[in-house]
Amino acid sequence: MAKNPQLNANGELKHLLSIEGLPRDIISAILDTAEPFTEVAEREVKKLPLLRGKSVFNLFFENSTRTRTTFEIAAKRLSADVINLNVSTSSTNKGETLLDTVDNLVAMQADMFVVRHASSGAPYLIAQHLESTNRPNVHVVNAGDGRHAHPTQGLLDMYTIRHFKRDFTQLTVAIIGDILHSRVARSQIHALTTLGVPEVRAIGPKTLLPTDVERLGVRVFHDMREGLKGVDVVMMLRLQNERMTGSLLPSPQEYFKFFGLTEEKLALAKPDAIVLHPGPMNRGVEIDSAVADGVQAVILPQVTFGIAVRMAVMSMLARG
């Protein structure tokens, strides 16, 4: 496999595995490609023929109705044939290996795999296997692998920030919450850095920040009020339910007190700061309803842009 498994020999996008390793011009090209797709969504007939006759497999080794739905909609709006495979309940139970499953679907002339897997690196493994079996026309999109990456989420966040703030190079951005266990946070940090954001802040309790988080180029804050001062963009993370009852946190109520985004805390950011959240929200845990439904929240536009970004990625892969 070439040094960068995501790009082909001409430097074009071949797989989307992680924002790490995506050059700035590819990220910008994805955001640019997504822009006209947001208009498609508002048409009477929300269809484009770009993936007509292509077979897209949603290969979900762990259940995520929400993510699967966004990819299914994106693929259908591009006129692809979409096949949903919930592999957790399927032939892997029959003793078949991951790569045998992939080989079989490739033999059925799959054009694209949207892969969700609990293990970090599974989409890489599939991409590598396609490479080594010489299948240049089959593409992989990582839809979340373990704690590692969830690149379309990171990209839709970038789209949203660019839409509302235009110029990345003037921004201070805060990422708040469980950065340790978040597959979203890593993607976000890499994307922001690559796009030239001069200051990225990581805000959270010590138990939920990676020990080496500063090496990613972020400033660390354990005091949310301190960290929010003067920021342009507030990126909230979802607190996983399993963390709330674990030993890392005292209680959801305590968490909300210190790291929940309230109107009072948000007032410390710039007056025109925007608030992002990847969803689904835990209202009253990491975010207060007044903020979630308030004028600074751009959480629903994120969802809309997310469809356009996924259409952009899929159409760029199919074109390549």
Interface residue list for a second copy (CB under 8 A): 41-47, 52-55, 63, 65-66, 69-70, 72-73, 76-77, 81, 83, 85-87, 89-91, 94-97, 100-101, 103-109, 241, 279-283, 300-304, 306-307
**What are the tokens at 137?**
């026309």
Nearer to a second copy, 217 or 279 (CB): 279
Shortest gap between Cβ of 84 and a second copy (angstroms)?
Answer: 9
List own/partner pairs for 195-200 with CB under 8 A and 24 or more apart.
Answer: 195/24, 195/27, 195/28, 195/158, 195/168, 196/24, 196/168, 196/169, 197/168, 197/169, 197/171, 197/172, 197/173, 198/169, 198/170, 198/171, 198/172, 199/171, 199/172, 199/173, 200/173, 200/174, 200/175
Shortest gap between Cβ of 285 and a second copy (angstroms)?
Answer: 8
Shortest gap between Cβ of 92 and a second copy (angstroms)?
Answer: 9
Nearer to a second copy, 269 or 291 (CB): 291
Dump the DSSP string for 79-104: T-EEEEEEGGGSGGGGT--HHHHHHH
Shortest gap between Cβ of 155 and a second copy (angstroms)?
Answer: 16
Q: Is the peptide bond before 23 cis (omega within 30 degrees of 0)?
A: no
- Across the strands, what pairs with 233? 173, 274
Going by their DSSP bridges, the two strands 199-203 and 172-176 should be labelled as parallel
Nearer to a second copy, 81 or 199 (CB): 81
Q: What angle do CA 46, 52, 53 make, to 5 degrees?
A: 145
Taking a C-beta distance cutoff of 8 angstroms, is the pair 318, 112 a contact?
A: yes
Shortest gap between Cβ of 65 and a second copy (angstroms)?
Answer: 4
Nearer to a second copy, 96 or 199 (CB): 96
* Residue 167 CB contacts under 8 Å (≥ 6 apart), including other chains: none
Shortest gap between Cβ of 187 and a second copy (angstroms)?
Answer: 20
Nearer to a second copy, 45 or 212 (CB): 45
Amino acid at 29: A
Nearer to a second copy, 134 or 211 (CB): 134
Phi/psi at 115 (5° precision):
-115, 130
Nearer to a second copy, 84 or 262 (CB): 84
Shortest gap between Cβ of 34 and a second copy (angstroms)?
Answer: 14
Query: Distance of alpha carbon 159 from its chain centroid, rounded?
Result: 11
